[in-house]
Amino acid sequence: GRNFEMLLAKADVAMSVARQQGGNRLLVYDDAYGEQLRGDFELQSALATVLDRNELVLHYQPIIDTRYNRVVGVEALMRWMRGSQMLSPGKFIPLAEDSGLDFRMGEWAISEALQQLRRWQLAGVPIPGVSVNVSVRHLRQPTLLRAAQQALEATEMPASALTLELTEIDVMRDIENVLPTLWELKKAGIRIALDDFGSGFSSVSYLTRMPVDTLKIDRVFVSELENDIGQLKVVRSIIALAGALDLQIIGEGVERTEEMHMLQKLGCQDLQGYLFSKPMTAAQLERWMTENHIMPGRGWPGEGTTAGS
């Protein structure tokens, strides 16, 4: 800075950017930060009314039981349709956190996903459940469980049709505070998945007394399966752990056929990733299911009678 005001302003900008990157770090000011902050500020103002303007949509990525070619669930992912732009949660959720808007968006997503699931059920589309990503910050709010229960009542869907995905690392960081809430969800019948599993340093003893239903293997392991024997060993142990604890195991971020084969050979059959499909709109997903001859699966009312028809 040429003078004190300038120096202070730039230090302030660097501090804001450092905070956005998670805080607790040292950053040297760069002119590009000024631009970035101005852009973020614009986004943040537009974000305030995103729900009122119906600009938020959910895309769905199928999770497939590859043994029987059936969909065991879909993961709902938020997209902000901003004019011709499509923004992913990574771009806007951090900006929504200051105002608590991320909580409202998360609760909207739960309700929207269940309404869609209801429409699918009425239309005979064989999708038994939906999962929604939520943050541990949000989990600590009493509003989350209430919102989920209201959405379940309104759509008359069984609680087990809803899975909440929490990243392993966030859960483990705050495990003692999170445990009671997880049990409340469990009591309500809602399913819980640990996302990005394998990088979050779970203590195995916690896992045995934690009411989780599903482990989703972090995609960093999946992408290195072929070349790195160490990663393969990690994945094999995660799958064994899930088996021992009677948990569902999902391999995510599957992009190549070889990855699919390796995961299957290791005993992981429920898979998700670009190899099968990118996240897509509800209508696109329905078309995709028809084109790929997806079968009705376990837990689906028409099972046995409609299969193959």
Residues near ligand G (CB under 6 A): 61, 77, 88, 133, 165, 195-196, 219, 252-255, 273-274, 279
Q: Are strands 130-133 and 191-197 parallel, antiparallel or unpaired?
A: unpaired
Q: Packing angle between helix 101-123 and helix 142-155, nearest 10 degrees?
A: 20
Give 279 or 296: the residue with its C-beta nearer to ligand G.
Answer: 279
| Token representation of residue 83 | 């004019």
Residue 221 C-alpha from the chain's centroid: 17
When CB distances to ligand G are compared, the closest residue is 273
Among Mn ion, ligand G, none, the one that 297 touches (CB under a kind-dependent 5 to 8 A) is: none
- The nearest distance, CB 73 to ligand G, in angstroms, is 13
Residue 91's Cβ-count burial label (10 Å; 0-12, 13-18, 19+) is: middle
Compare residues 101 and 250 and give the one whose CB is closer to ligand G: 250
User: Which residue, 121 or 269, is less far from ligand G as judged by CB?
Assistant: 269
Nearest approach, Cβ of 196 to Mn ion (angstroms)?
A: 8
Q: Which does 198 bind (CB under 5 to 8 A by kind): ligand G, Mn ion, none?
A: none
**Which of 133/202 has CB closer to Mn ion?**
133
Angstrom distances, CA of residue 266 to CA of 56, 84, 243: 38, 42, 11
| Interface positions, 156-175, toward Mn ion (CB under 5 A) | 165
What is the C-alpha end-to-end distance of the chain, expressed in Å? 72
Nearest to 29 by CA among 60, 68, 1: 1
- Residue 34 or 89 with smaller CB distance to ligand G: 89
> Residue 250: left (phi > 0), alpha (psi -120 to 50), or beta?
beta
Among 66, 111, 121, 133, binds Mn ion (CB under 5 A): 133
Residue selected from 102, 107, 195, 270 as contacting Mn ion according to rule CB under 5 A: 195
- 190 contacts 164 by C-beta, under 8 angstroms: yes
- Cβ atoms within 10 Å of 136's Cβ, excluding its own: 18
Report the residue number, 56 or 77, with the smaller CB distance to Mn ion.
77
Nearer to ligand G, 70 or 216 (CB): 216
255 binds, among ligand G, Mn ion, none (CB under 5 to 8 A by kind): ligand G
3-class secondary structure, 135: coil
Task: Choose the stretch contacting Mn ion; rule: CB under 5 A; options: 192-200, 219-227, 237-245, 283-291.
Answer: 192-200
Name the minimum Å distance from CB 216 to Mn ion.
6
Residue 126 binding partner per list Mn ion, ligand G, none, with a CB distance cut-off of 5 to 8 Å that depends on partner kind? none
Distance in angstroms (rounded) separating the CA atoms of residues 182 and 49: 31
77 binds, among ligand G, Mn ion, none (CB under 5 to 8 A by kind): ligand G
Q: How many residues does this entry show for the chain?
A: 309
| Residue 132 contact partner, candidates ligand G, Mn ion, none, CB within 5 to 8 A by sort of partner | none
CA-wise closest residue to 71 among 308, 251, 285: 285
Q: Which residues contact 32 (CB under 8 A, 6 or more apart)?
A: none
65 binds Mn ion (CB under 5 A): no
- Which amino acid is located at 243 in the chain? G
If the CB atoms of residues 165 and 218 are measured against Mn ion, the closer one turns out to be: 165
CB of 272 to ligand G, least distance (A): 6
**Taking CB within 5 to 8 Å according to partner kind, which of Mn ion, ligand G, none is near residue 251?**
none
Contacting positions for Mn ion (CB under 5 A): 133, 165, 195
